[in-house]
Each structure stands twice: as C-alpha cells, then as structure tokens.
Structure 1
C-alpha cells in the first residue's frame, strides 16, 4: 500500500499527473525542487489522508479566474501537518477558507508566490501553527490582530511585502516566537508599540523598512534577545540604557538612523564595535566607536595637546627626581657599606675585592641555615667562598641610627689594630648590599607611593605584578595614567 511519494529534486517537467488521485492511501507527497508546470490540480483535495504536501519550488500556475481556490479543496485534509506551495508562479488572493485548513497544520509556506491582497483574519484559526511564511509576496494592508491567537508560533515571516502599520501588541504576546523575520517587511511603517511581552531566543530584524520614532525602553524586557537589527530606517532619540540588561545579545546593528546621545557601555555593549553605529552623527561615546566624545565625559576638558604637555612635564619631573636620587645614592654608597667580612684565624691573605654576588653564594643567599649570631644592630652569617675560605659576614641594620656609628667604628678599629686575639677584617664589601638596597628601594617605594597614591600591599599588586613593575611598564608609555589625578589639578 503506497503511502509516501518522494520525487523531489529530480528535474521533473510537465504537469502533475491525474493518476496520483488513484493512490487514495497517500499520506505524504513531495514534488518540490523540480520544473513542473501547469495548474495545481483540484483533485489533490480528494486525497483526504494527506499529512504532508510539498509542491514548491516549481513553475506551477493557476487559472486567473480561479485564483487560489485550490486551497479550499485542501480543507478536506483533517490530519494535514505541512503545506508548502512557496516558490511557484501562483497569483491571487489568499481565500478566507484558509482558516478552515486542518487545526493540526504546523507549517504553512507561501513564500514567493506573487500572492496579493490582505492576510485574511481567519488565519488565526490555525492554532497549532509553528511556522508561517508569507514573505516575498505582494501582500498589502496590516497584519491581522488574530495573529495573536497563534500561541505556538515560533517563526513569523512577512518580509518583502507591502504590509504596513504598527507592530501589534498581540504579536508581542507570542511568547514562543523565536524569529520575527530574518528580514522583516521593508514597508512596515509606524512607531513601535510600547507594550512588549517576553520572547524566548528571539532574533529580531527590523532593517530596511520605514519604521520611525524612538527605540522603546521595553525592548529591555526581551531578555532572551540574541540578535537585534534596527538599521536603515528613521529611528531617532537615544539608545535606551536599559538595553544593557540584554545579556544574551550577541549582534547589534543600529546603523544609518538619526540616533543621538551617549552609546551605552555596560552589559553586551562593551563587546560591540563601531560597525554597530555607522552614520549616526549625533551619537557620542568611547573612541572605539568612532564617534565624538560626550560633553559629560570627565576627560573632555583635556585636549590632545594639553594631555601631551602634561605627560611631557610629568615625565621630565619624574626623570629629574630619579636622577637626583641616583646621584645621592651613589655618593652615599661611597661612604656607607653594610657588609663586613672578617677572616678567621686560619685564613690566608685575600687581597682582591669580594663582590656582593660572591657573598650571596657564600652565605647561601643569607639563609637561616648560615646564621650564626644576632646582635642589637645586625646579624652574623657564616660564609664559605669558592676557594674554601671561611668568613664571618656581618650584616648591619642600617635602619638603626646606631648601626652607622658602630659600622664605621668597627671598620676603623679592625683596619688599624693588630692583635692575635682580634679577627682580621678581610674586606669591606665593595658593592651595594641587600640592606643598602632595601634602603634605596624603600625610598623608591616612598616616591612611587607619593605620585601614584597607591601602596605595595594594594589588591592591584598580586602574583608577579609588583608596584615597581607596574610603574616601570607605564613609565615611558603611559606614565600619566598612573599618576594620582589630584596632583594634576
């Protein structure tokens, strides 16, 4: 028993044969994507078990005097689920009887059939419609209010038609609507209604039409909106800041309108580019959008020249201070040294200079394991040098005022006194020791804290990012960005 006939995409020509009517048990007939000609036969209405009928795309026509009356013959199908007659050369007006098609119908496609006239209000009787495709026709008038009865509809396409009027409140109540036209009607005129329901996973394209007026605040209620195209129309006013709540919005196009005011920068708006706002001359905002800066922007008062001059003057000031500090430290280094290496009684003469890095290696980076004594003004470490020499390395705490005097007195005494019970002073280390480094470093930190109004313990400095590294990276490129703003006023 033949129930399914699939002859799509076979380059068939000629007319639909009458013999098909002999197969009364057919429930699915697909003749799409061929080159069939002639009229749509009315005998198809006798095959009352049809669940799926696809006749497009083809080259089918109809008698001008009969119009689309063949649709009336299809009302006998009680289990019809899919009806596709799109992309044929049909002419005529949708009959009111279209509302008598089976209530089981889920897909109705009449795209590109040169259908004219108005959409009959009876179409609202097709309560189980999921997809209604009426685009690319010569339809006129407005969308009937009865469309709002199609609560299961997910795709509503009326693009490239002569339909006009307002977006109806009833359409906005279609909560399952996922696509209100991939490209909506080019002549859909009027202002947006201000009462919208909540759509789910909506891709809304209203481009290339005659819509005008303001973008409604209640667009923000479309919380699942993923794509919004409002380009090439006469929209005016500001972009509602409430649209920042559309966290799922991944595509936005508001180009070629007359919008004004500041471009929002929260929510999804921080991911959009200048391409979303082309030819809206009155918009303002961040430089990345290629629009003018807003007057309320805090940095508007600074011209590029002023910012450059501030940058140069601050850079010169910082460099001068840094040079002065370096000169002062070099002079102090010549007078103050904070490491004293003593030779024990078994040591032989050692007449060359000992570097700080040799001392670091000898004391294993001044670890606790090498610590042999503590005093009121410093620590004593055991050091084993590369040639086997064992020495006591005394580290003075230069943060204590008494350490300077003790250091100089001990150096002078050990240099001049010779006694078998005194340990010989081997060398005063020639480089900048760690405590001296800390002294210099602490002064540098103080300087950085003064100019940036930040502390090394701030939450900004975590991981490998230290305050010193932060300042160094910005010094020659963006030093003005790290200087405390209060110093510039």
Structure 2
C-alpha cells in the first residue's frame, strides 16, 4: 500500500479497510461536498486540498512512499513511523516547503537521502532512524537552519561531519548519528552549536582526538562516543579527555566505552557535573589508579570501568556514591581488599569486581547492601570464610565467587537465598557437606560447586530444585549414590559429577538419558547402562529382581485391563462432552476422528514402553505411537502441579485453531486418572536438536524459512484468531519440524487466551528463563509483545547457535548485549561459524542479510513492550530477506 489521500467516499473506505485497528483512526469526518477525508490535524476544503498533518504511525502499512506525497503542499506534519515502507524516499518530498516535522523511522527505506530534502527550510524535526538508507549523507541536510533534532541512527550511511555544521545547523539541540559507517574526525566547529544537548556518534568508525572544545557545549546533557576509534591527545602536556568536560554543568551521561583512548583518569573527574548519572569508559585502555576524587560524583548511578589497565586499590571514597546502582570494574589489575566504605552503597544493584587481584576477606558489613541483586567477584584472591551476612540476601539473583581462596564449610543459612538463579562457588577450598537447606533454592537455574574439597552425599533434597538446568559437582570428594530422585529434574541439561568417589547405579531416566560418559568418569564405584562406560550393576538379591520383574512385566497389563474396563463403562457417558472433543480437520489425519480409548492408546505405544519415549517435559512425557499413521502421544503426569490445567489449556486452544505452522491435535484420551493428547508426528524432531546436535546442520536458507514459519504461526495466534492467543514459551524445543523441514509451533500448556477487548493479562505461570520478556519474568504481565520478545531471542539463537542460558552469559553479558556489541562490524564473531565463510563468492551479500536479521532480532527484544515490533512487521521483513535470497540464488549459488 502507498500513502494516499481519499478523493471520494469510496477511496476513504478503501483506506480504512487497510487499517484494522479502529483506534488507529483518531477521527474521521465525512460530509457531503467535502472532497478529502479528515483526520485529527487535517483540514479540507472543497476545491483545493489543505492537508496539514498526516499521521500513519504504527499501522502495519507496507509498500512504497508515493511520489504524489509531494503534492500535499500544505503539509506541516508527516509521521509514518514503525511501518514496513520500503524503497527510496521520493525526491518530490522536497516540495513540502511548509513541512516542520518529518518522522519516517523504523521502516525499510533504502537508497540515498535525496538532496532535495535540503529545500525543507521550515523543518525542525527530522527522524530517519532504523531504516536501510545508504551512501554518503547529503550535505544539504546540514543546511536546514531551523532543525532542532536530526536522527539518522541505525542506517548504512557513510561520509563525514562537515566542518561548517555550526553554520548550517545553528539551532540544533539533538544530533543522533549512531550505528552507521561514518568516518573522519569530530570537527572543532561542533563546539559552536551552543544549544546542543545530545551528541550521539556511537558505533561508527570516527577517529582522531576527542576535541577539547567539547567543553564549550555548556548545555550538553548526553555525550555518546562509544565503539569508535577515538584517542586521547597525549602530545599536549596534562591533556586528558575528561577535564574539558568539567565545564559542561548539565551533563547526565558520558559514554566513551570501546575506544583506544589510553591515558589516566584525572583528578578533575571529581569536578564533573553534579547531575552526572552515567559514566562509561570500559575497554578504553585506561591505565593508572582510580583517583580518590571519584567520590565527588554524588549523583552517579552507573560507573563502568571494566576491561582497562587500572591498578592500585579501590579508593575508600567509593562509599560516597550513595546513589550508585551499577558498578563494573572487572578485568583490570586492581589489588588490595575491598574498603569497608563499600558497604555504604545501599542502592547498589549490580557489582562486578571479577578478574582482578583483589584479596583479603569480604567485609562483614556486606549485608548492608540490601538492594544487591547481582554480585560477581570471580577470579580474584579473596580468602577465609565468606561472611554470614552474604547469605541473608533473600532477593539476590546471581552470586559468582568462583576461583578465589575461600575456605570453610557452606552454612545452613545458604537456604535463605530464595531468589537466587545462579550460584557459582567453584574453584575454592570449601570443605564439609552440602547443606540440606540448599534444596530450598526453588529458583536456582545453575549451581556450580566444582573444584573444591566438599565431601559426603549428594543431598536428596536436590530433587526440589525444579528450575535447575546446570549442576556441576565435579572434582570434589563426594561419596555414596547419585540420588535417583534427580530424574525428576526435567529441565536439567548439564550434570557433572566426574572426579569424585561416588558409587552405585547411575540413574537412567529423565534427563540422565541425554548425559555422556564424561559427566561420570573417575568414580570407580559407579555402575549402570553400558553407554556410560561403566560396569553393569549387579542385583543385590532375588527379591529385588522379582520385584522389578513384577513392576515391569506383570503390573502394566493388569493396570491396562482395569483401565480398559473403566473406559468401556464410562465411554458413552463422556462422549457427548464437547470440551475435549476436537473438530474435524481437512488434514490427511482425518482417519482418527473420535476420542481414543485408553486401551487403544496403550496398544499404539506398546503399553507406553520406554522404547517409544520421545522426550520428557515439565508436565509429562511424549511417546511415539503407531496408529493408522505415526503420531505423537503427549501423556500428562497428573501428579505434577499444573498438569491438569495444562491439559485443559492445550485442549481449549488447539481444538479451535488451525494453521500450517501449528502442531495439529488429532484427538484426545481422557478419564479421571489419565489425560493425553494425540498429535501429528514430526519426524525431524525439534529445532533444538538441529541447532546443537553434531549430526545435524541447518544452512542459511533453512534457518530463515524456519523463522518465517514460526513468525507466521505467531502472527496467526495474535491476529488471525477471534481472540489473541499468547504462546508464552517460544524456544527451540517447542519448534517441531516435519518431513519437509516445515516448522510447527507446539506446546501450548502455559498459553493465554485473551478476550477480544483484552490487551494484557497477568499470570503466575512463567516461561523459560532466557526467553521471557522483562515484564513477563518480573511481574507476570502477558501480552502479544511477550511472544515478540521471545521470537527475537529465538532469532538470535538460531543464527548464532548460542543459547541465552549459555554459561558464557553471566553478569552484565547476555545473549542480547553480546549480539548488540558485535554490530555492525563484528558480525563474524557472533554468527554460527558454519553460516559465514569469508572465502565464498557471496560472502558480502550473505553478511548483509545476516546483519538485517540480527538487527530485526534486536528490535523485537526492546526492553519496552511498546517499542517492540509487531510480529506482522517482523514477518514481512523476514520474507523480504528471503525474497532477496531467492533472487540471488540461481546466479550466485548463495545456499
């Protein structure tokens, strides 16, 4: 669709037909004799159009911007933000001489910025960010003398900042040029833009010295020079990159990170603006000490000095920063103990001191840090016992004290860490047994106790750690058996007990089916299945053998006969209940239309034989069944909390929706004690297997098509059904692949069905860590934006082959931040190595497509739900990339 103006009532109706959300039409006015539709801010006359404002913000529109836009000569306001417009900006836009506001951000516009834009002499606001504009930036833009805001962030523009910028843009207040390909120096003349409040040049290839004349920008509030090649002018005695900025009394944010600045942190840092809240200078090759004067920065909220060459001790004056919430000084050369004044930082939320040479005891007063949620002190030389106050943090989320010299035993108080998700105490000298209270840590996702001197048994209480995914107890002195109850931990993907003194049988159920022999080696007393490379266990007595035989061979047929008899009696009574009956479909599985009996289900799965087990989930197991066709049987374990509700939810949702990219429900089996769904069989398993199994590989095109399939399914759930359906748990294991590698979204056990008028809901049932949107994980708020966020994470994971829960993502580093930092020039560092080869003929084209995909993923994972893309927009952009790929394929063999 193109931007158009209705000239009659029929045209007006045509426009409205493209705008499905009535709230997007703020007002309409049609009266006899009026020749143009009227929206808020739009005035009309009979003979000549006097359209003064056109607002098409966030309407899901696509196509090109028509050149006829230039005919709206009375236009003063044009906003097409957050749509899917593509193609070039028409040169006719230069005819809109009255235009004051031009907002075209978050589209797919490409080509160069037309030089004709320089004729918009009344323009005060120009925002073209997050498009695909390229080429050198037209110098005519820098002659729009009334401009107060210019934003070109997130394009592919090149060139330099003109030295006459102060002459052409005397009224400029906000300049955003980040995430482009600009080069050259910052001209000294920029310091004459006396009204400038925000200067953002981040993520480009600017170079040269940071001008000392920036100190003349007395109204400057934000200076963002991150990720460039700026240096400090060391040729001038006493010159540094901080002192000139002390004259900017309104500064709030100073961001220098990832530049080869070098030099010292001067004492003048204490003279910075009293309003300064963020100071970021990590990876800047800064050396020397942290000056005591840093304590004068009383309003500081975030201080990031990581990955430099800082030496000396942490100054005691750090305790004066009472408003500090984030403190990052990791990977430097600091030594000495943590000053007692550190405990004064009562608002501290995040602290990372790892990778230094800090030593001594942790201050006992650390219990004063009541706001602390993440603490990283790994790879230092801390010693002695950990103060008991550290175990009083009921709200802390992550603690990493690994690779120090801590000793003593782990106290019972460790069970107070009710909210902790990651606990890493590896590489120390802890001794004694694991306290039984550790089984109370219900939120724990990763527990690492390896390389210590711990002994005793692995606590049975570990089976209460329902969220546990990563458990490493290797290189200790544990003895006794591995508790068989650990088979209950359905989310466990890593379990390492190697190099201990364990004995007895290795459990073979649950997640243990996926573990390799390396996880159990150097435990001479272990026995079990041959795939673990240990001896086969010997039965202790005949009684145990008889009991096992009874449970395995005799009891199942008896139970099956009893259930079959019960079902036969109750069948007619329950057959008329429609809540669990599925409507007929047009698929090739129409052979089975009735509800399946329990006896039929047992026969098809060979009495739910373990040989037919496909996998286990959080609320039950999945078996392969042979009916007239191969199908999947999902059996719900009704002993588990939430299983019955999950069954009802899947029945309610899957019984009434149909889409080629959703897993089809064929029928169900239900009685008072047994619930199961029969689903379409997917012979190629799930996406998780294809991403991480060494025997499988997906090429670029296959991954793109799978993501398009997933986006198509989510778009249908959000917009193609009578009421929005929120999946709530998008992740690779829930993306199933049929024989043609077409993706199908499955597992709707925690999905939410909103009412027609409902846009947001609240739930206590959470999805999978790493894939949940911030508002979902923290407050249980569910909307369509939750699925968009998960889709963005899934998109990143699919093309980087890195899980968001990868052990490398600790502290401040997440999958999202790791991906963001690699753009735009270090894409090779993050994408799957099997997807990009610099020697292949079409490396450049594929690299650009991958860049577009990663940028799309970042737009989907915005922390603000309102700023995330609509899934429809994301789908359109992926399809465009696929179209470009297919256009190149015949000639360039891009696959």
* Other-structure match for 1:413: none
- For residue 278 of structure 1, the aligned residue among 421, 431, 450 is 450
Tell me whether 1:160 sits opposite 2:346 in the alignment.
no
* Other-structure match for 1:107: 278
Say whether the 8 Å CA contact 1:156–1:179 is kept in structure 2: yes
* Other-structure match for 1:13: 183
- For residue 139 of structure 1, the aligned residue among 306, 310, 322 is 310
**Residue 224 of structure 1, CA deviation:** 1.7
**Residue 243 of structure 1, CA deviation:** 1.5
Q: What does 1:309-458 correspond to in 2, within 5 Å?
A: none
Q: Against the structure 1 CA distance between its residues 34 and 271, is the aligned structure 2 distance closer, same or farther, given a 3 Å change threshold?
A: closer
Tell me whether 1:22 sits opposite 2:183 in the alignment.
no
**Residue 314 of structure 1, CA deviation:** 8.5
Q: Against the structure 1 CA distance between its residues 157 and 312, is the aligned structure 2 distance closer, same or farther, given a 3 Å change threshold?
A: same
Whole-angstrom CA distance in 2 between matches of 1:224 and 1:68:
45
Say whether the 8 Å CA contact 2:417–2:441 is kept in structure 1: no
* RMSD, aligned CA: 3.7
Say whether the 8 Å CA contact 2:348–2:369 is kept in structure 1: no
SS in 2 for 1:36: strand
Tell me whether 1:241 sits opposite 2:415 in the alignment.
no
Say whether the 8 Å CA contact 1:285–1:292 is kept in structure 2: no
Say whether the 8 Å CA contact 1:229–1:252 is kept in structure 2: yes
| Greater C-alpha Rg | 1
Say whether the 8 Å CA contact 2:240–2:264 is kept in structure 1: no
**Residue 234 of structure 1, CA deviation:** 2.0
Say whether the 8 Å CA contact 1:262–1:294 is kept in structure 2: no
Whole-angstrom CA distance in 1 between matches of 2:258 and 2:504:
60
- For residue 251 of structure 1, the aligned residue among 412, 415, 422 is 422
**Residue 269 of structure 1, CA deviation:** 4.5
* Other-structure match for 1:194: 364
Say whether the 8 Å CA contact 1:223–1:246 is kept in structure 2: yes
Say whether the 8 Å CA contact 1:69–1:95 is kept in structure 2: yes
Tell me the alpha carbon deviations over residues 430-457 of structure 1, each in whole angstroms, 9 at most, x when there is no partner.
xxxxxxxxxxxxxxxxxxxxxxxxxxxx
Tell me the alpha carbon deviations over residues 409-467 of structure 1, each in whole angstroms, 9 at most, x when there is no partner.
xxxxxxxxxxxxxxxxxxxxxxxxxxxxxxxxxxxxxxxxxxxxxxxxxxxxxxx99xx
Q: Which runs of 5+ in 1 are unaligned?
A: 296-301, 320-463, 466-489
Whole-angstrom CA distance in 1 between matches of 2:258 and 2:446:
38
Whole-angstrom CA distance in 2 between matches of 1:246 and 1:229:
13
Is the deviation greater in 233-242 or in 192-201?
192-201
Is the deviation greater in 229-238 or in 107-116?
229-238
Q: Against the structure 1 CA distance between its residues 292 and 252, is the aligned structure 2 distance closer, same or farther, given a 3 Å change threshold?
A: same
* Other-structure match for 2:224: 54
TM-score by length of 2: 0.33
Q: How many residues align?
A: 323
* Other-structure match for 1:215: 386
Whole-angstrom CA distance in 1 between matches of 2:431 and 2:370:
27
Q: Against the structure 1 CA distance between its residues 270 and 101, is the aligned structure 2 distance closer, same or farther, given a 3 Å change threshold?
A: closer
Whole-angstrom CA distance in 2 between matches of 1:253 and 1:24:
51
* Other-structure match for 1:476: none
- For residue 2 of structure 1, the aligned residue among 162, 165, 172 is 172
Say whether the 8 Å CA contact 2:418–2:443 is kept in structure 1: no
Q: Against the structure 1 CA distance between its residues 309 and 31, is the aligned structure 2 distance closer, same or farther, given a 3 Å change threshold?
A: closer
Say whether the 8 Å CA contact 1:230–1:253 is kept in structure 2: yes
* Other-structure match for 1:63: 233
Whole-angstrom CA distance in 1 between matches of 2:359 and 2:317:
19
Q: Against the structure 1 CA distance between its residues 17 and 24, is the aligned structure 2 distance closer, same or farther, given a 3 Å change threshold?
A: same
- Which structure carries more relative contact order (alpha carbon 8 Å, separation 6+)? 1
* Other-structure match for 2:96: none
